[in-house]
Amino acid sequence: MPKEIITEGKAQIEVDTADIVSKDLEVFYNPDMVLNRDISIAVLRTQFDKPICIALPLAGTGVRGVRILKEIPELVKKIEMNDASPEATKLIKENLERNGLEENETIRISQKDACLFLEDSDGFDYIDIDPFGSPNQFLDTAIRKLSRKGILAVTATDTAALAGTYPTTCKRKYWSTSAITPHKHEMGLRILARKVMLLGIHHNKVLKPVLSYHYKHYYRIIFECIKSKEQAAKLLDSLQAFVNYDKVTADISVTKNPDESKTWCGPLYEGELHDKEFLEKLLTNYKHKVIEKAKEELNVVGSYDTHQVSQKNDLRLVPLDDIIRKLQEKKFEASRCATNLHAVKTTASFQKLIEVMKELNA
Ligand SMILES: C[S@@+](CC[C@H](N)C(=O)[O-])C[C@H]1O[C@@H](n2cnc3c(N)ncnc32)[C@H](O)[C@@H]1O
């Protein structure tokens, strides 16, 4: 496999190069994930103000670990980089050296299965689950080993299952049925969030999403851990929602049982996908449209895809910003949707939205 030295943030890393990224690459480096790593570093800066214990159970080339050590050394009490692959752990060592760093009491490298690695540890304040595919098999152990006020960062690249292409796989892995609809990516995030939160509940931990996003080929949710038996029990009520999509009109509804006459998905998490206060602070550390869009979007489940609504209700397409402005003039809350470019999130009913769109058509 041809190798190359690249610079990412303050790190210089040797990586395998290939035209197509695949999990068959000897050691996996994906340039599409630079944003994922940029945001992790900003999240660490935002959440913590003293040195913490960091776990990278699927460390790959070690790029995330080297960047943390070079860019925020003041926050590292201990960092452990683990990968099951011998090629990866060799490369992590080489990449540390290349950046003037070495294995010591603070910086640890291991070559174990990620769950065993976590199991053998004393626990961490930040755990990053960043696999190729589903994070599923690593979640329970990671949650158990996460400290109070700790951060669990979860990547899922199996978006096809979560977004409805493989609803049966989704059901098996995430205990929820996915569906192909205009809001499939928001629902994919909500299904993933629910699975993580359900696993947290039986460890008396509330995993509260502070940022959830879909970018290129992956989903990413950053959770803050709150240890509370009372809150954990209450959380269950917000994990039982079904979202129904009417293919004839493009209307949506949120119910406690699926509406079998519609295209439905669930059960899923119906609470907030982001913590707006956290995002405000995050933006002072790192500005990116992914975070800005998340901060701007209204906290309601689902959205109306205005292209679909127009087409299915014989309306002329009007600019999304005009629809949002008109809804706000009528004292409804309304915003763009972070996971669908053409969609509006609003507190207005479908009938009110149609009225507004008709007015704009006149
Ligand atoms: C997507 S890559 C990790 C990328 C890395 N987190 C980053 O930020 O660049 C996934 C890595 O997980 C490793 N891996 C896969 N299954 C594993 C397991 N069960 N335990 C530990 N490592 C595993 C692979 O060897 C691969 O290096």
Confidence at residue 24, expressed as pLDDT on a 0 to 100 scale: 58
Closest CA to 273 of 250, 241, 305, 312: 241
**Atom of ligand 1 at shortest range from CA of 30:** 9
Task: Give exposure, 244-280, as e/b (b: 16+ Cβ within 10 Å).
Answer: bbbeeebbbeeeeebeeebbbbbbbbbbebbbeebbe
- CATH code for the domain of 313: 3.30.56.70
Alpha helices in 127-270 (DSSP H): 136-144, 159-162, 167-174, 184-201, 229-235
Confidence at residue 123, expressed as pLDDT on a 0 to 100 scale: 98
Phi-psi sector, 130: left (phi>0), alpha (psi -120 to 50), beta = beta
Residues 356 and 242 in one domain: no
| Domains identified in the chain, total number | 2
Look-up: residue for tokens 């595919």? 133
Q: Is 220 in the pocket of ligand 1 (CB under 6 A)?
A: no
Question: Best substitution site from 40, 58, 67, 92 to test ligand 1's pocket, by max atoms within 8 Å of Cβ?
Answer: 58
Cut 0.85: pTM above it: yes
Residues 280 and 315 in one domain: no
Contacts for 301 with CB less than 8 Å, ≥ 6 apart: 186, 190, 241, 243, 254, 270
Residues 9 and 103 in one domain: yes
- Residue after which a domain boundary falls, among 244, 275, 296: 296
Confidence at residue 208, expressed as pLDDT on a 0 to 100 scale: 97
CB-CB contact of 228 with 259 (8 Å): no
Residues 68 and 93 in one domain: yes
Residues 202 and 230 in one domain: yes
Q: Is 305 in the pocket of ligand 1 (CB under 6 A)?
A: no
What's the rounded Cα separation, in Å, for the pair 193 and 327?
30
Secondary structure element (H or E) that encloses residue 342, with its range:
strand 340-346
Distance 85 CA to ligand 1 centre (A): 8
Q: Atom 26 of ligand 1 has which residue's CA nearest to it?
A: 60
Q: Is 132 in the pocket of ligand 1 (CB under 6 A)?
A: yes
Confidence at residue 19, expressed as pLDDT on a 0 to 100 scale: 59
- Give one DSSP letter per residue of 229-244, joined into a string: HHHHHHHGGGG-EEEE
Q: Is 84 in the pocket of ligand 1 (CB under 6 A)?
A: yes
Q: Is 94 in the pocket of ligand 1 (CB under 6 A)?
A: no
Q: How many residues does the chain have?
A: 362
Confidence at residue 20, expressed as pLDDT on a 0 to 100 scale: 55
Distance 236 CA to ligand 1 centre (A): 31
Please give the angle made by the CA atoms of 75, 89 and 196, to the nearest 5 degrees. 60
Residues 207 and 323 in one domain: no
Question: Best substitution site from 1, 14, 15, 28 to test ligand 1's pocket, by max atoms within 8 Å of Cβ?
Answer: 28
Residues 88 and 190 in one domain: yes
- Residue after which a domain boundary falls, among 252, 270, 296: 296
Distance 161 CA to ligand 1 centre (A): 20
Distance 322 CA to ligand 1 centre (A): 45
What's the rounded Cα separation, in Å, for the pair 169 and 158?
10
Q: How far is CA 350 from the centre of its chain?
A: 28
Residues 161 and 78 in one domain: yes
CB-CB contact of 54 with 37 (8 Å): no
Alpha helices in the chain (DSSP H): 34-47, 63-71, 86-98, 114-119, 136-144, 159-162, 167-174, 184-201, 229-235, 276-285, 289-296, 306-312, 320-329, 350-361
Residues 177 and 285 in one domain: yes
Residues 238 and 341 in one domain: no
**Atom of ligand 1 at shortest range from CA of 60:** 27
Residues 273 and 353 in one domain: no
Distance 58 CA to ligand 1 centre (A): 4
Confidence at residue 21, expressed as pLDDT on a 0 to 100 scale: 57
Q: Is 58 in the pocket of ligand 1 (CB under 6 A)?
A: yes
Q: Is 38 in the pocket of ligand 1 (CB under 6 A)?
A: no
pLDDT in tens, the chain (362 residues): 677 899 999 999 988 766 555 555 556 678 889 999 999 999 999 999 999 999 999 999 999 999 999 999 999 999 999 999 999 999 999 999 999 999 999 999 999 999 999 999 999 999 999 999 999 999 999 999 999 999 999 999 999 999 999 999 999 999 999 999 999 999 999 999 999 999 999 999 999 999 999 999 999 999 999 988 888 888 999 999 999 999 999 999 999 999 999 999 999 999 999 999 999 999 999 999 999 999 999 999 999 999 999 999 999 999 999 999 999 999 999 999 999 999 999 999 999 999 999 999 98
- CATH code for the domain of 128: 3.40.50.150
Pairing of strands 218-227, 205-215: antiparallel
User: Please, what is the angle between helix 289-296 and helix 276-285, to 10°?
Assistant: 160
Confidence at residue 187, expressed as pLDDT on a 0 to 100 scale: 98
Q: Atom 10 of ligand 1 has which residue's CA nearest to it?
A: 131
Domain of residue 320: give its range. Answer: 304-361
Confidence at residue 259, expressed as pLDDT on a 0 to 100 scale: 98
Confidence at residue 298, expressed as pLDDT on a 0 to 100 scale: 98
- Residue after which a domain boundary falls, among 239, 266, 296: 296
Q: Is 131 in the pocket of ligand 1 (CB under 6 A)?
A: yes
What's the rounded Cα separation, in Å, for the pair 224 and 196?
11
Residues 49 and 186 in one domain: yes
Q: Is 130 in the pocket of ligand 1 (CB under 6 A)?
A: yes
Q: Atom 3 of ligand 1 has which residue's CA nearest to it?
A: 60
Secondary structure element (H or E) that encloses residue 336, with its range:
strand 334-337
